[in-house]
Structure 1
């Protein structure tokens, strides 16, 4: 199994990264702040930061350590990566499937898994907080998602799957606010707002969705799959459509559940956010640091992977699913097995 390497997050805009032997040196006003050996890292993620020496970029590309740039609030800007790995015939198969109904089974599988995992999050939230939530309302949505999951299997085209996915997402998001148990005056979820997020809960999940999408894109590229050519999400310039396909199966379990835990365990509060004049609500620098510290800890936790029949670290899940997708494209396995929560 692949070793889970570290991600180096740069949140201070005054830091400059340079090469120092086989190490990454972080400096501020020519003073070294920290130094990390290149071999322990899988990627460097920078927020509102463009100071990287050419020598360091070259070393990172040679060592397959991606450098990704985001705005301070989690909007993806771009990524520096090394040579692409994988078989050209795998990508040809990917492009051929993209424009045909041959990929319908893949689409049905990932959306079925999304529904399954969303339902599991709601069930667990209901069981853990019976005296604090509207049980009847949650049960109605849980049952509705179950029935819609049966309809997914009978879909004859991708548009039909997209229609059902939209209904499932609307139902799921309509009751997610019930699972916010603590800090009710400061955190709530009425509906999904993205560009920009208009409340603290949306700010959190938008930030984390961006991080996870980046991790998935890097994992796909690491095995030679084109992260921009998706089967469920249509092509759009600059959009990593295949990464967005794969995140569908992981959203509820990895991001939504984590966000609820952060709030309900008081690991984050209103002081970690700022509100702009237009109402946009965004994490401030301290908030980003708190989220990233807890996200790193979460990645180290282990979960059971039903298809592999073994425990893996959560941070390896994008890599494992990228490998499974690669096996599917090569014809080594009959169908792509999306990740579904055990138990």
Structure 2
């Protein structure tokens, strides 16, 4: 069990979360493991087979706190919330903007540009830190290819073309990412392209888990400012899909999740024993691995950065909330265009 920025994560299989007066109590095999005052909790996130009492569900809904259910691999399953709140005028502006082809394309271009810039910085850092000149050159070439993709973004005439540029750039990025892993860890963490459902190797399993947590934070960020998380601009709208959360996630994937994955691997904080292989070739983090990753994720979110727009220092975990606010200002017309977060 871990708590960060008012979010309580429950990962222990068969744990039972229930209400004890004004306190949330977590029990495992009838033994109390944690007590947290309800007013300290903004959201309850449960991994896998965690039991939640009806009384606690009702109280969370009454107080506007969300209950999020994820599967064992961290993939989003469901979210329980009370009545919809937020700014109806902002949501109306969002729906109008989604129907404005030029606005939607301009916003999507900015999101992709942010993703490519930040992905490039990961490869450039890998090239600088590489002890092998040949590998450094390969990483630099891959970073240059991302720069070429970045130059093509403003000329994308429609969303399909833009998604094609982004997809091709992502393939090149993931093909090079292996070289940022230290040589001694490559056998255990070989990345053979990006595989999702299910992940086919440990590296993919690790980043899929991190992306799930990041997406949940981006969804919370969108909702916190009154945006509709289902109505995206880069990602196509589909029933049950938090398309705007996926949009906001793009610029953070490499500098937030991928960098953390590389740090965990290269420092030996996570290794082969933290994963299980399933029938059919699927690879998943086991309970021990998930605990390691969630702890590292929380620590990463507490790290301070300086936002390039406001020049204010803030915890890294607040970035999705700041960017959601910037997107809301763009929709209202307070800003000329959306400005993604660009890591240094």
Q: TM-score, with normalisation over the residues of structure 2? A: 0.94
1:50 Cα deviation (Å)? 4.5
Runs of 5+ consecutive residues of structure 2 not aligned to the other structure: none
Structure 1 residues 191 and 232: alpha-carbon distance in aligned structure 2, compared to 1, 3 A threshold: same
1:45-124 aligned at under 5 Å gives the runs: 45-101=45-101, 102-124=103-125
Contact 2:180–2:262, Cα closer than 8 Å, also in 1 = yes
1:145-156 aligned at under 5 Å gives the runs: 145-156=146-157
Contact 1:328–1:334, Cα closer than 8 Å, also in 2 = yes
SS of the equivalent of 2:335 reads coil
Matching of residue 163 in structure 1 with residue 164 in structure 2: yes
RMSD: 1.5
In the comparison of the two structures, how many residue pairs are matched? 339
Give every structure 1 segment of 4 or more consecutive aligned residues whose post-TM-superposition deviation is greater than 6 Å: none
1:215-226 aligned at under 5 Å gives the runs: 215-226=217-228
Q: Distance in 1 between matches of 2:84 and 2:17?
A: 24
Matching of residue 144 in structure 1 with residue 145 in structure 2: yes
The equivalent position to 2:242 in structure 1, one of 216, 240, 249, is 240
Q: TM-score, with normalisation over the residues of structure 1? A: 0.95
1:13 Cα deviation (Å)? 2.3
SS of the equivalent of 1:94 reads helix
Q: Deviations over 1:38-88 (max 9, x none)?
A: 232232111113521222122222333221111111221101123333221
Q: Which of the pair is proportionally richer in helix?
A: 2
Q: Distance in 1 between matches of 2:134 and 2:224?
A: 43
Q: Distance in 2 between matches of 1:199 and 1:72?
A: 16
Q: Distance in 2 between matches of 1:133 and 1:5?
A: 43
SS of the equivalent of 1:278 reads helix
1:1-343 aligned at under 5 Å gives the runs: 5-101=5-101, 102-131=103-132, 134-181=135-182, 182-342=184-344
Contact 1:107–1:232, Cα closer than 8 Å, also in 2 = yes
Contact 1:11–1:289, Cα closer than 8 Å, also in 2 = yes
SS of the equivalent of 1:39 reads helix
1:309 Cα deviation (Å)? 1.3
